[in-house]
Structure 1
């Protein structure tokens, strides 16, 4: 039996009704983009039902939570389906310039966090027009949580914000920790750390002699994006947002940690904090603190979401 098959077999027993295929039809929905439309998928749960706008994380992550970089966990689609079974509607989106929203910007257009924030505003307006709800809930995953917090600073017609696997620190210190805590990264650290240091100073580093395994991550375009993103401190944004806030963190997340969740919780003492000890970054249960097994779950869409995740979000949204 392969590791992947072992994970699947181990997890079948914990599947709950909320992880089964939702009996609600998916429909396409669009919002206004800067050039062309932004594209998403709506699961409507009925007239008057709350609606959650699900914002994906960093890189080429699509509306379902999948990525051409090997992530096929489908966790955002599963979240939407689970919420639908609780009577909660959702809209999950492709970020501007990617997938269904590729035509929203020029082919060579660079994107910043402020652009994603602007798109959240377009989506809130589109959802309210389409569904008739007065306010929309934001649920951001990973970097999407940072976008949600930034959008919540001035966006009207928000019911509240859900942060799932959110960074609690600026982007570059978090990346530095991620690279350093993986023993397998030791050979590339001499190349990576000076680039991170330069970006933290606001400088675009020369990567022409960088290890080819990581050079694409630090292309000039990506460096400029990360320099901009590093200006946003999630904990400070949480402190200045006054609406309802839920923080959800997995104990086996390899990309964000309890330090991140606690930093946000400390900034907003009245926020709700839900810890799921066995959940990883793609919102699945992994059976042990084993990085190899953990990463295998990233390519298994058949694994259900971590028990308690949908219930926590649903309880917060309907309270």
Structure 2
């Protein structure tokens, strides 16, 4: 939903990003190595066939490798990290390529409402879909990955971006001992309750408008109060009054309190720092982008403290929410941190 907010408010201008695909087998490998390859896979969860891409790095016949499930961000983000046609950075596809260099098998999939999967059993009634359904879909993907012959037992990590990071966190905390994640990577995560994230982003934009002289301080104070009341009313099951809000913000709240209400409230029910305190001992990596307007590093402070027993935060300089630098490449600090995280 963070992505939905960005689109509604036009807060981010998206640029096309060029990314490299998964790497092929390196020159010099012995002749009996199997080359790297992509395999189109599917699995059924609660009556819906979910489609994805399994990437297997070059390996010896019969060799079993560590693996990672890649979970996409909010809104209609597909297996590659795209929201076509307008936003196609290919971040998850690039991430699979980076992990190929570390010889990690990856699975990425089209979640509900995206790509080949589509709405599945929710077709015609997407307003009934709640956040826990996405967690269950991710759990089915994890189990599919765990049972692949190419994957080493007990060496499956969960890697999520934005809302997908929160899904990875919830999945890791809920997993029984025999399905526990070998490692957890939270990339630019949804680190607070959903409506707190929304309110924080809107308050930041209000402050920017005051700073640029486009909004007078008394008007900004009134708008900030209206935003906080909207949060309280939506959580309290009351109608949300948007009459005093500018049109773009009113449209946002009407969407949150209307057709997206079920998803919003079930997403908002999750407090990432609270969930993180229940994590079993496993390596945890959290990243934030120094230029990220959607999840500024300060927004991850509570979650960082909650994971401090098991992991740490890495700040990615020169990087926004999509984890890419100005030239469209994945952050080298990110790929380095992933390479140093062993599971």
Q: Do the two structures share a fold, i.e. TM-score over 0.5?
A: yes
Supply the distance in 2 between the matched residues of 1:265 and 1:208 (Cα, whole angstroms): 38
Asked if 2 retains the 8 angstrom alpha-carbon contact of 1:248 and 1:273, the reply is: yes
Normalising by structure 2, we get a TM-score of 0.75
1:134 paired with 2:153, answer yes
Aligned twin of 2:318? 278
Aligned length: 291
Aligned twin of 2:256? 218
Cα distance, 1:60–1:206 mapped onto 2, change above 3 Å:
farther
Supply the distance in 1 between the matched residues of 2:239 and 2:66 (Cα, whole angstroms): 43
| Equivalent in 139, 162, 180 of residue 121 of structure 1 | 139
Supply the distance in 2 between the matched residues of 1:177 and 1:151 (Cα, whole angstroms): 25
1:245 paired with 2:284, answer yes
The farther-off stretch of 268-277 and 20-29 is 20-29
| Equivalent in 176, 180, 199 of residue 234 of structure 2 | 199
- Tell me, which stretches of 5 or more residues in structure 1 are unaligned? 287-301
Supply the distance in 2 between the matched residues of 1:69 and 1:218 (Cα, whole angstroms): 23
Aligned twin of 1:292? none
- Tell me, which stretches of 5 or more residues in structure 2 are unaligned? 1-12, 25-35
Cα distance, 1:180–1:282 mapped onto 2, change above 3 Å:
same
Asked if 2 retains the 8 angstrom alpha-carbon contact of 1:124 and 1:157, the reply is: no
Aligned twin of 2:6? none
1:132-153 CA distance string (max 9 Å, x none): 4323211011111111111112
Deviation at 1:174, TM superposition (A): 0.9
Secondary structure at the residue paired with 1:240? Answer: coil
Cα distance, 1:263–1:313 mapped onto 2, change above 3 Å:
same
Supply the distance in 2 between the matched residues of 1:21 and 1:134 (Cα, whole angstroms): 23
Asked if 1 retains the 8 angstrom alpha-carbon contact of 2:163 and 2:190, the reply is: yes
Deviation at 1:96, TM superposition (A): 2.0
Asked if 2 retains the 8 angstrom alpha-carbon contact of 1:141 and 1:166, the reply is: yes
Aligned twin of 2:70? 54
Supply the distance in 2 between the matched residues of 1:116 and 1:310 (Cα, whole angstroms): 27
1:185-235 CA distance string (max 9 Å, x none): 969958765533322324453669976645264361212211111110111
| Equivalent in 129, 151, 155 of residue 111 of structure 1 | 129
Q: Radius of gyration: which is bigger?
A: 2
Give the alignment of 1:1-319 within 5 angstroms.
22-23=23-24, 24-45=36-57, 46=59, 47-68=63-84, 70-107=86-123, 108-109=125-126, 110-130=128-148, 131-135=150-154, 136-155=156-175, 156-182=179-205, 183=208, 189=223, 194-203=229-238, 205=240, 213=248, 215=251, 217-218=255-256, 220-242=258-280, 243-270=282-309, 271-286=311-326, 303-316=328-341, 318=342
Deviation at 1:106, TM superposition (A): 2.4
1:26-73 CA distance string (max 9 Å, x none): 211112221221111111123321111010111111111111473221
Supply the distance in 2 between the matched residues of 1:212 and 1:265 (Cα, whole angstroms): 35
